[in-house]
Protein backbone atom coordinates (compact mmCIF):
# COMPACT_ATOMS: atom_id res chain seq x y z
CA UNK A 1 0.00 0.00 0.00
CA UNK A 2 1.12 3.56 -0.66
CA UNK A 3 2.18 5.14 2.61
CA UNK A 4 0.80 8.40 3.97
CA UNK A 5 2.71 8.14 7.24
CA UNK A 6 3.51 11.50 8.83
CA UNK A 7 0.98 13.24 6.56
CA UNK A 8 -2.13 15.23 7.46
CA UNK A 9 -5.16 14.99 5.19
CA UNK A 10 -8.54 16.72 5.08
CA UNK A 11 -11.50 15.11 3.32
CA UNK A 12 -14.76 17.00 2.78
CA UNK A 13 -18.08 15.19 2.60
CA UNK A 14 -16.45 12.39 4.59
CA UNK A 15 -19.52 11.38 6.56
CA UNK A 16 -20.56 8.73 4.03
CA UNK A 17 -19.97 7.23 0.61
CA UNK A 18 -16.80 8.01 -1.30
CA UNK A 19 -15.61 10.58 1.24
CA UNK A 20 -15.87 8.12 4.09
CA UNK A 21 -14.05 5.43 2.10
CA UNK A 22 -11.26 7.91 1.26
CA UNK A 23 -10.90 8.99 4.89
CA UNK A 24 -10.75 5.41 6.14
CA UNK A 25 -8.22 4.32 3.52
CA UNK A 26 -6.00 7.35 4.14
CA UNK A 27 -6.03 6.58 7.86
CA UNK A 28 -5.08 2.96 7.21
CA UNK A 29 -2.21 4.27 5.07
CA UNK A 30 -0.91 6.22 8.07
CA UNK A 31 -2.34 9.72 7.65
CA UNK A 32 -3.94 11.80 10.34
CA UNK A 33 -7.32 12.56 8.78
CA UNK A 34 -9.58 15.55 9.35
CA UNK A 35 -13.10 14.39 8.58
CA UNK A 36 -15.20 17.34 7.38
CA UNK A 37 -18.95 17.22 6.84
CA UNK A 38 -22.09 19.31 7.40
CA UNK A 39 -23.65 16.33 9.17
CA UNK A 40 -21.94 16.09 12.55
CA UNK A 41 -23.39 12.67 13.39
CA UNK A 42 -22.22 11.18 10.09
CA UNK A 43 -18.79 12.79 10.38
CA UNK A 44 -18.30 11.65 13.95
CA UNK A 45 -19.32 8.17 12.81
CA UNK A 46 -16.47 8.15 10.30
CA UNK A 47 -14.05 9.33 12.98
CA UNK A 48 -15.24 6.59 15.34
CA UNK A 49 -14.76 3.94 12.66
CA UNK A 50 -11.23 5.17 11.91
CA UNK A 51 -10.27 5.22 15.58
CA UNK A 52 -11.77 1.78 16.16
CA UNK A 53 -9.47 0.47 13.42
CA UNK A 54 -6.44 2.08 15.09
CA UNK A 55 -6.23 5.19 12.93
CA UNK A 56 -6.00 8.88 13.79
CA UNK A 57 -8.88 11.19 12.91
CA UNK A 58 -10.61 14.38 14.02
CA UNK A 59 -13.95 15.88 13.01
CA UNK A 60 -14.76 19.41 11.90
CA UNK A 61 -18.21 20.62 10.89
CA UNK A 62 -18.26 22.79 7.76
CA UNK A 63 -20.55 23.93 4.99
CA UNK A 64 -18.01 24.09 2.17
CA UNK A 65 -20.00 26.77 0.35
CA UNK A 66 -19.25 29.23 3.17
CA UNK A 67 -15.92 30.90 2.38
CA UNK A 68 -15.58 32.64 5.75
CA UNK A 69 -16.06 29.38 7.64
CA UNK A 70 -13.52 27.61 5.41
CA UNK A 71 -10.94 30.31 6.13
CA UNK A 72 -11.69 30.14 9.86
CA UNK A 73 -11.22 26.37 9.78
CA UNK A 74 -7.83 26.67 8.11
CA UNK A 75 -6.72 29.10 10.83
CA UNK A 76 -7.22 26.50 13.54
CA UNK A 77 -6.05 23.34 11.76
CA UNK A 78 -2.47 22.21 11.17
CA UNK A 79 -0.96 22.63 7.72
CA UNK A 80 -2.22 20.00 5.30
CA UNK A 81 -0.29 17.64 3.08
CA UNK A 82 -3.44 16.42 1.31
CA UNK A 83 -6.76 18.11 0.56
CA UNK A 84 -9.62 16.07 -0.89
CA UNK A 85 -12.56 18.13 -2.14
CA UNK A 86 -15.21 15.43 -2.18
CA UNK A 87 -18.34 17.24 -0.94
CA UNK A 88 -20.88 17.52 -3.70
CA UNK A 89 -24.58 17.48 -4.50
CA UNK A 90 -26.65 16.47 -7.53
CA UNK A 91 -29.77 17.40 -9.45
CA UNK A 92 -31.85 15.57 -12.05
CA UNK A 93 -33.22 17.67 -14.88
CA UNK A 94 -32.77 19.19 -18.32
CA UNK A 95 -33.30 22.86 -19.18
CA UNK A 96 -37.10 23.00 -18.80
CA UNK A 97 -36.98 21.59 -15.27
CA UNK A 98 -33.75 23.13 -14.01
CA UNK A 99 -34.23 26.47 -12.30
CA UNK A 100 -31.50 29.06 -11.97
CA UNK A 101 -31.65 28.41 -8.23
CA UNK A 102 -30.84 24.73 -8.86
CA UNK A 103 -27.73 25.65 -10.84
CA UNK A 104 -26.68 28.18 -8.21
CA UNK A 105 -27.12 25.63 -5.43
CA UNK A 106 -24.97 23.03 -7.18
CA UNK A 107 -22.35 25.60 -8.16
CA UNK A 108 -22.09 26.83 -4.56
CA UNK A 109 -21.17 23.36 -3.31
CA UNK A 110 -19.54 21.56 -6.25
CA UNK A 111 -17.39 24.42 -7.56
CA UNK A 112 -17.26 27.21 -4.98
CA UNK A 113 -16.87 24.60 -2.25
CA UNK A 114 -13.65 23.28 -3.80
CA UNK A 115 -12.51 26.83 -4.58
CA UNK A 116 -13.16 27.92 -0.97
CA UNK A 117 -11.17 25.03 0.50
CA UNK A 118 -8.30 25.66 -1.91
CA UNK A 119 -8.28 29.35 -1.00
CA UNK A 120 -8.19 28.39 2.66
CA UNK A 121 -5.57 25.63 2.67
CA UNK A 122 -3.45 25.80 -0.49
CA UNK A 123 -1.46 28.95 0.43
CA UNK A 124 0.19 27.05 3.30
CA UNK A 125 1.00 24.19 0.91
CA UNK A 126 2.58 26.64 -1.52
CA UNK A 127 4.64 28.16 1.29
CA UNK A 128 5.92 24.70 2.25
CA UNK A 129 6.52 23.66 -1.36
CA UNK A 130 4.53 20.43 -1.23
CA UNK A 131 1.00 19.09 -1.18
CA UNK A 132 -1.62 17.17 -3.12
CA UNK A 133 -5.13 18.46 -3.87
CA UNK A 134 -7.63 15.92 -5.18
CA UNK A 135 -10.98 17.09 -6.53
CA UNK A 136 -13.76 14.52 -6.82
CA UNK A 137 -15.31 15.38 -10.16
CA UNK A 138 -17.25 12.89 -12.28
CA UNK A 139 -17.53 11.24 -15.65
CA UNK A 140 -20.01 14.12 -16.07
CA UNK A 141 -17.05 16.48 -15.96
CA UNK A 142 -15.67 14.95 -19.15
CA UNK A 143 -18.77 13.96 -21.15
CA UNK A 144 -22.32 15.26 -20.80
CA UNK A 145 -24.80 13.06 -18.96
CA UNK A 146 -28.43 13.12 -20.04
CA UNK A 147 -30.89 14.81 -17.65
CA UNK A 148 -28.06 16.16 -15.49
CA UNK A 149 -27.72 19.70 -16.86
CA UNK A 150 -26.72 21.48 -13.64
CA UNK A 151 -24.59 18.60 -12.38
CA UNK A 152 -22.72 18.24 -15.69
CA UNK A 153 -22.12 21.99 -15.85
CA UNK A 154 -20.60 22.12 -12.36
CA UNK A 155 -18.47 19.02 -12.82
CA UNK A 156 -17.01 20.39 -16.06
CA UNK A 157 -16.23 23.56 -14.10
CA UNK A 158 -14.53 21.53 -11.37
CA UNK A 159 -12.31 19.77 -13.91
CA UNK A 160 -11.46 23.18 -15.38
CA UNK A 161 -10.64 24.54 -11.93
CA UNK A 162 -8.34 21.58 -11.34
CA UNK A 163 -6.45 22.12 -14.59
CA UNK A 164 -6.13 25.88 -14.05
CA UNK A 165 -4.71 25.35 -10.57
CA UNK A 166 -2.28 22.73 -11.83
CA UNK A 167 -1.03 25.00 -14.61
CA UNK A 168 -0.69 28.07 -12.41
CA UNK A 169 1.27 26.17 -9.74
CA UNK A 170 3.13 23.64 -11.88
CA UNK A 171 6.58 24.45 -10.43
CA UNK A 172 5.65 24.76 -6.76
CA UNK A 173 5.60 21.15 -5.57
CA UNK A 174 1.83 21.33 -5.02
CA UNK A 175 -0.19 19.06 -7.30
CA UNK A 176 -3.84 19.27 -8.39
CA UNK A 177 -5.74 16.34 -9.89
CA UNK A 178 -9.34 15.29 -10.47
CA UNK A 179 -10.84 11.85 -9.98
CA UNK A 180 -13.76 11.23 -12.32
CA UNK A 181 -15.91 8.27 -11.28
CA UNK A 182 -18.76 6.81 -13.26
CA UNK A 183 -21.67 5.35 -11.33
CA UNK A 184 -20.74 4.49 -7.74
CA UNK A 185 -22.91 2.47 -5.35
CA UNK A 186 -22.97 4.88 -2.43
CA UNK A 187 -25.63 5.00 0.32
CA UNK A 188 -27.15 7.98 -1.52
CA UNK A 189 -27.48 5.97 -4.73
CA UNK A 190 -28.86 2.96 -2.84
CA UNK A 191 -31.54 5.19 -1.30
CA UNK A 192 -32.52 6.58 -4.69
CA UNK A 193 -32.73 3.05 -6.12
CA UNK A 194 -34.99 2.00 -3.25
CA UNK A 195 -37.36 4.86 -4.13
CA UNK A 196 -37.70 3.67 -7.74
CA UNK A 197 -40.90 1.84 -8.80
CA UNK A 198 -38.64 -0.97 -10.02
CA UNK A 199 -35.33 -0.90 -8.06
CA UNK A 200 -33.88 -3.90 -9.94
CA UNK A 201 -34.51 -2.29 -13.33
CA UNK A 202 -33.11 1.02 -12.11
CA UNK A 203 -29.97 -0.73 -10.89
CA UNK A 204 -29.53 -2.46 -14.25
CA UNK A 205 -29.92 0.84 -16.08
CA UNK A 206 -27.30 2.55 -13.91
CA UNK A 207 -24.87 -0.33 -14.33
CA UNK A 208 -25.39 -0.60 -18.10
CA UNK A 209 -23.30 2.48 -18.90
CA UNK A 210 -20.16 0.74 -17.61
CA UNK A 211 -18.45 -2.12 -19.41
CA UNK A 212 -18.02 -4.12 -16.20
CA UNK A 213 -21.80 -4.31 -15.95
CA UNK A 214 -21.85 -3.00 -12.39
CA UNK A 215 -21.42 0.18 -10.43
CA UNK A 216 -18.13 0.91 -8.70
CA UNK A 217 -17.75 0.62 -4.95
CA UNK A 218 -16.60 3.65 -2.92
CA UNK A 219 -13.43 1.79 -1.93
CA UNK A 220 -12.41 1.54 -5.60
CA UNK A 221 -12.56 5.32 -5.92
CA UNK A 222 -10.68 5.73 -2.65
CA UNK A 223 -7.83 3.60 -4.03
CA UNK A 224 -7.32 6.09 -6.86
CA UNK A 225 -7.31 8.98 -4.40
CA UNK A 226 -4.68 7.19 -2.32
CA UNK A 227 -2.37 6.97 -5.34
CA UNK A 228 -2.77 10.67 -6.08
CA UNK A 229 -2.15 11.55 -2.42
CA UNK A 230 1.03 9.48 -2.18
CA UNK A 231 4.54 10.57 -3.12
CA UNK A 232 4.64 7.90 -5.83
CA UNK A 233 2.39 10.11 -7.99
CA UNK A 234 4.79 13.06 -7.84
CA UNK A 235 4.78 13.40 -11.65
CA UNK A 236 0.98 13.54 -11.86
CA UNK A 237 -0.69 16.95 -11.90
CA UNK A 238 -3.50 18.46 -13.95
CA UNK A 239 -4.85 15.00 -14.70
CA UNK A 240 -8.37 13.63 -14.81
CA UNK A 241 -8.25 10.04 -13.59
CA UNK A 242 -11.23 8.21 -15.08
CA UNK A 243 -12.78 5.38 -13.06
CA UNK A 244 -15.74 4.72 -15.32
CA UNK A 245 -15.28 1.11 -16.53
CA UNK A 246 -15.00 2.27 -20.12
CA UNK A 247 -18.02 4.63 -20.14
CA UNK A 248 -15.99 7.25 -22.01
CA UNK A 249 -13.70 4.87 -23.93
CA UNK A 250 -15.42 5.44 -27.26
CA UNK A 251 -16.21 9.13 -26.81
Cα(231)–Cα(99) distance, rounded to whole angstroms? 43
Cα(242)–Cα(217) distance, rounded to whole angstroms? 14
Q: Which residues of 120-144 are buried (b: 16+ CB within 10 A; e: fewer)?
A: bbbeebeeeebbbbbbbbbbbbbee
Q: Has 227 been annotated as catalytic?
A: no
Nearest to 46 by CA among 27, 24, 68: 24
Cα(212)–Cα(107) distance, rounded to whole angstroms? 31
Cα(138)–Cα(183) distance, rounded to whole angstroms? 9
Catalytic residue, candidates 34, 151, 156, 247: 151
Spatial strand order of the sheet with 32-37 comes to 56-61, 32-37, 8-12, 82-85, 131-136, 174-181, 240-243
220 contacts 244 by C-beta, under 8 angstroms: no
Cα(181)–Cα(245) distance, rounded to whole angstroms? 9
Describe the crossing of helices 17-28 and 218-229 by its angle, rounded to 10 degrees.
Answer: 50
Q: Which residues are catalytic?
A: 151
Amino acid sequence: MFSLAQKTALVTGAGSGIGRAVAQLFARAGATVWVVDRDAAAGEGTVAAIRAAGGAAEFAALDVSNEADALALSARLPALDILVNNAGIGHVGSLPNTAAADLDRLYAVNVRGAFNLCRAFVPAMLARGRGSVINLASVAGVVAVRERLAYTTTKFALVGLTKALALDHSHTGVRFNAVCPGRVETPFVQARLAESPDPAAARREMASTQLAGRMAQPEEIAAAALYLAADESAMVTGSTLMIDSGWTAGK
